[in-house]
Structure 1
């Protein structure tokens, strides 16, 4: 059978496959829609793959002439097994979204319009960016900020307008600029609105709230993080305590890790009960990244006197931190040793020093000196052992094979 050569200008420069929906970007180069959308939206590139020029806008203009050429060529070569692909459905446009947003301001049409917006957002990343540029983010945020609790009865049950808006906003996966705009809007009002959702919402929408907050905090400024109220920490810790889902747990931990490099926030987190919840969760948690986040957060909070006091008040605090050394990862071990270092340096009463010995903390630290777990971890372990050398060095709790490691 004769081999059919596809004309080179029918080929997408990214995938080297034949284009089915050719579109032209701001640099004048034409690509297949699916491939260039993956390049811009999924891979988050802001340059033209062929010319490396920065994209002045992300609008994709259909190259109708080229598409018709390709379809005609497919028809002419049908006898060779080439199938003519159908004309693609035109993507959603900015004017269409603006019209929908206007309709959504009418109480009678609001839920119907929101459902249409959710359907559009679920199609692809290009639709999401189109919705963001058309002002959907600001509109949805304004609904969430309202104190109204208006609900509609749907097939799947009673649905709140606010809940629907939140689920769409999370689904949009906003750009960094969009997230920053959301943070700055209303002088922190949106954070308070999400805090109320975490306090009063169902499990599903509390999860949406904390996962959206995680995305926002990744691009946030210290100014916003320093202004967080105690109620915020109380509600994020409660999401952790309720173990809504693995995704919600991870997002809650990341939110608190972003918030707790600051002294005042560490105290608020400790007062919200974060230490007790983290210790209880660590007892049963085995997933590597989750354990790392918990130990990172414990380390941050234990840099405050309030955090250290909470950890020592927990019957299993010292034991579980020690247990995680050499069992999670290098990062986990370093953070666990750092927590013990903070306790030893600033909160080491005679009873605490004795408890560390009886729990096997000392033997674990001696073991750290013998294995490869990072120079900083070894340095801190050695310093802890030196601080309490008078109490610990003659103890029968230290195995004979580890005595040679003890830094007398």
Structure 2
């Protein structure tokens, strides 16, 4: 009966206007809905419609500790009914209210409320990702939300930590470029600290953090801070431990931006598995991974083509992969880049027995 009551109220809110009836108290009903409720369903009373202002009141109830859990369950139940309810709830300001509540729970270290709020936020990830407005423009929301994923009260809850990591990803998708340029180093350090805790976060949580890094790394200052913080080593280790398709694409995308500066390329080459990690996904993951990996190799070939680097490319199979790209059914620009790299160092690689052995062994 409770669910039917809620369904009626939402339907009544949407349909009011065709034949409205207003009682002495000022509450408006739809005549057809009244007939259905009283005569077809054999009810003696008719509930009021649930409109935008009622949702606003529910969102306001999140600020009252005694009502928080009950209110979140109500909002979740309404959201699960249909997508139209989502639109109404966001029109009433659910997104901003929910984030404010998440931040409040984090500051008070209220683990139960924080877990419920993050679960609700994750439920609304699709409409939140499509929205553009106060959430994406508010610097304070971004700054306050990121530490949530590192909250001590969530340390043992892998699922909730992953949902916490998803929150900044949703906001960064529509963030103002001006805001992305002005991020503080502490914010990026907070994200990077989670990359070293792969055992405490699931694959989706890791990918969410990588999405945030991918959105922030194109800006010069962010790129410098990431390189100085040793991000390339963390990314390479993440790829070695979790070679999942989406993770690989994200890691290669970030590595490409970081390798566009000299310090980034130098850091990649300092890792013993740096070139191998970039080479291995070629022709194995996706066309996007091929494009990003080849772009990184092109940068290394052009700006860091020392004898040591060139020999390393031969040893780990990079040259073999480039040769295979030339024969594969792939995009013309990939073949052109592969050809350019091979021609640049043909004096070292041409006719090498190692090339043949690497091709067979890969």
Q: Distance in 1 between matches of 2:130 and 2:285?
A: 36
- Any idea what SS the aligned residue of 1:342 has? helix
Task: Report the TM-score, using the length of structure 2 for normalisation.
Answer: 0.77
Q: Say if 1:24 and 1:62, in contact at 8 Å, map to a contact too.
A: no
Cα distance change on mapping 1:89 and 1:107 into 2, 3 Å: closer
Q: Distance in 1 between matches of 2:117 and 2:37?
A: 41
Aligned to 1:125: 83
Structure 2 residue 121 is matched with structure 1 residue 169: yes
Cα drift, residue 241 of structure 1: 3.6
Is it true that 1:150 corresponds to 2:102 in the alignment?
no
Identify the match of residue 184 of structure 1 among 133, 137, 140: 137
Paired position in structure 2 for 1:375: 332
Q: 1:391 aligns with which of 340, 348, 351?
A: 348
SS in 1 for 2:327: coil
Rounded to whole Å, the distance in 2 between the matches of 1:319 and 1:284 is: 14
Distance 1:214 1:254 in 2: 6
On the 8 A contact 1:145/1:189 being kept in 2, the answer is: no
In structure 2, the partner of 1:290 is 247
Normalised by the length of structure 1, the TM-score is: 0.69
> 1:220, CA displacement in angstroms?
1.9
1:5-404 equivalence runs, <5 A: 64-65=31-32, 68=35, 92-146=50-104, 149-150=107-108, 159=112, 161-173=113-125, 174-175=127-128, 178-185=131-138, 188-201=139-152, 202=154, 203-243=158-198, 244-399=201-356
- Tell me, in whole angstroms, the C-alpha distance in 2 between the residues paired with 1:85 and 1:386: 83
Change over 3 Å in CA distance of 1:221–1:26 after alignment to 2: farther
Query: What displacement does 1:359 show?
Result: 2.0
- 1:343/1:96 CA distance change after superposition, 3 Å: same
Aligned partners of 2:146 and 2:168 also within 8 Å? no
CA 1:70 to 1:108, structure 2 compared with 1: closer, same or farther past 3 Å? closer
1:190 match: secondary structure: helix
Distance 1:362 1:27 in 2: 70
Alignment length (residue pairs): 333
CA contact 1:319–1:359 (8 Å) conserved in 2: yes
Which residue of structure 2 aligns with residue 9 of structure 1? none
CA 1:98/1:346 → structure 2, altered by over 3 Å: closer, same or farther?
A: same
Which residue matches 2:25? Answer: none
Shift of residue 128 of structure 1?
Answer: 3.2
What displacement does 1:221 show? 2.2
Whether the 8 Å contact between 2:172 and 2:212 is mirrored in structure 1 is yes
RMSD: 3.7
Which residue does the alignment assign to 2:6?
none
Q: Which residues of structure 1 form unaligned runs of 5+?
A: 1-20, 29-60, 76-83, 153-157, 403-408
Partner Cα separation in structure 2 for residue 91 and residue 212 of structure 1? 32
CA contact 1:324–1:333 (8 Å) conserved in 2: yes
- Higher relative contact order by CA 8 Å / sep ≥ 6: 1 or 2? 2
Q: 1:332 to 1:91 in 2, by over 3 A?
A: farther
Question: Tell me, what secondary structure is at the counterpart of 1:397?
Answer: helix
After superposition, the Cα gap between the structure-2 partners of 1:398 and 1:375, relative to the gap in structure 1 and judged at 3 Å, is same
